[in-house]
Structure 1
C-alpha cells in the first residue's frame, strides 16, 4: 500500500463507476469479486483490476475467510476508507485519506508498540 497517493490517482479511480460501486458495496459488508462483478455489472477481469488498483492505493483490504459450505476458503474485499479530503492551499491541492482500522489491526499495533 502506498502511503503517498496523489490527487490525480484518486481522482482517476473515483471517476470510474465500477470503483465507486465497489467502494459503496464493500463499505456495507465484505464481498467476493464474483458478487462485486454482479453488483457492478462489469466483467470479472475488470473488477479484479479495479480491486487491485484500490488495494494498491490503500482504499481496500483483502481478507481470506473459510468457506464451510465448500470446505475451502474465499477471498473477500472490504473498504477501509472512511473519508477522502482534498484541500486547496498555497502549494495546490493536497489529499488526506482517513482509513478505518479494525480491532485486529489495532491489537497488532498495540502489541508491536510494547
Structure 2
C-alpha cells in the first residue's frame, strides 16, 4: 500500500508527536538522505526489519515520510521511502492544545510521475 501524506486534510498532533518521540523513527528520518527501501533502512539504522516496517508505518501515518514505488525494468518493483517534510512546527493554541504544521517539500517532475505510477498500480 502506497500512501501520500499530501492527501491528508488535517494532521493528528498525537500521531505526529508519537512518531517524533520514537528513537528508531528519528533514526530512520536521519538516515534518509536519499530514498531507501525498508531493508536498506534496517541495515543503515541497525533496526530489525520487522521493527523497521512498524516504524515506517508510524512515520507515513504521521505524514513525515513519502512511500513510493520504484519501477524496475525487470518487473520486480520495490517500495522506497523518503522524508516528506522540510520543517515540522509544534505550537500551543489559545486553548493550550497542540497544533502541528508540517511543511511539505517540493516534489520534482520525476517524483510526481512515480506517484502517478503508484496510484495506477493501486487501482489495477
* Unaligned 5+ runs, structure 2: 116-124
Match of residue 7 from structure 1: 13
Higher RCO (CA-CA < 8 Å; seq separation 6+):
2
Kept after mapping to 2: 8 A contact 1:3/1:58: no
Which runs of structure 1 show a deviation greater than 6 angstroms over 4 or more consecutive aligned residues? none
TM-score of the two chains, using structure 1 as the length reference:
0.77
Aligned pairs for 1:1-114 (under 5 A) are 1=5, 2-26=8-32, 28-67=33-72, 71=74, 72-92=76-96, 93-104=98-109, 105=112
Give me the CA root mean square deviation: 2.0
Count of residues in correspondence between the two structures:
103
Tell me which structure has the larger Cα radius of gyration.
Answer: 1
